[in-house]
Amino acid sequence: MRGLWLDGGALKTRVDLDTPVPPAGEALVRVVKAGVCNTDLEMVRGYFAFRGTPGHEFVGVVEEAPGDPALRGKRVVGEINAACRTCATCRARRVTHCPNRTVLGILERNGAHAQYLTLPAINLHEVPAAVPDDVAVFAEPLAAALEVREQVAVGPGDRVVVVGSGKLGTLVALSLALTGCDLVVAGRNPTTLAPLAARGLRTAAPDALPAAGADVVVECTGNADGFAIARHAVRPRGTIVLKSTYHGGLTLDVAMVVVDEVTLVGSRCGPFAPALDLLARGKIDVAPLIAARYPLEDAARAYEHAARPGTLKVLIDAA
């Protein structure tokens, strides 16, 4: 089959990849569309010494499901953590932290930037008929954005700052806006801030944020500057949610975290059912986030485009 291959930071398109064969309990999915996210870009830069096909945001059609034939022909999206489901962590319902897991396109499992992928059938979610492919491909990153609301109580009157207006920060901001909180999106790029302002969200330059003014700050940049902004903006006994992948070290003034009794929350994958529901009901409009589309044979160019400053979502058409 055709697909991308990442090895030692080198990314290239190959036409000689083996079509995967689904093991017991898994399904073979023909990829229709896939997204390029910041984690994919970081992997090209060396995050997680991954060798294989990258990509974890996708919508596709089930071609084979030996253990669940009713799935055949279904249009699906998928949770990316393939857990063993038998260890103590899985039995405690923390399957996304299974020590034996593989992760689609990230850890010991070939991903979605190819014509086919395999995932456990239990990981797959059928896409409502009303949700087009271009929208369904956002299910995984929107689920990740919604995890913030699963971990931290946010409601009307809460002062919330989202740091970063890129791919993930935009989805986090749009999802938090539904809570009625007092929301500000802080960023330095007017190109990505402008669409948020056009939707009625309040935006600001990081330097304009008041010190210690936020109950919750969601840091979506994955860099030291973003964390410094979050630390400046959060109030004593407030919460900082670290939403983005960090590549490299981070200098942390732990003493100030202790003195101000700041809660740090790591946040990763999230719930698919609510994400699909919001997309189906049109509560979150993701279409304006699509910056470009590339065919699978030009997927390496899609990565180059996605890496340009100010670019939101780049899609790969695999069908």
Sign of CA pseudo-dihedral 279, 282, 288, 293: positive
208 within domain boundaries = yes
Whether 15 and 64 share a structural domain: yes
Q: Domain range holding 253?
A: 144-266
pTM: 0.96
Tokens found for residue 294: 């590339």
pLDDT reported for residue 278: 98
Quick check: 19 pLDDT over 90? yes
Residues 301, 250 share a domain: no
272 belongs to a structural domain:
no
The rounded percent of the chain whose pLDDT value lies above 90 is: 92
79 and 28 both lie in a single domain: yes
Residue 275 counted as domain residue: no
Number of folded domains in the chain? 2
- Is residue 51 within 8 A of residue 6, CB to CB? The reply is yes
What residues have CB less than 8 Å from 234, skipping those under 6 apart? 161, 212, 214, 215, 216, 217, 240, 260, 262
152 and 120 belong to one structural domain: no
146-180: pLDDT as tens digits: 999 999 999 999 999 999 999 999 999 999 999 99
Look up the CATH number of the domain holding residue 296. Answer: 3.90.180.10
Q: Are residues 201 and 236 in the same domain?
A: yes
* Model confidence pLDDT, tens digit, residues 121-143: 999 999 999 999 999 999 999 99
Indicate if 88 and 130 belong to the same structural domain: yes
Are residue 173 and residue 126 in the same domain, yes or no? Answer: no
Asked if residue 281 is part of any domain, the answer here is: no
Q: Are residues 17 and 105 in the same domain?
A: yes
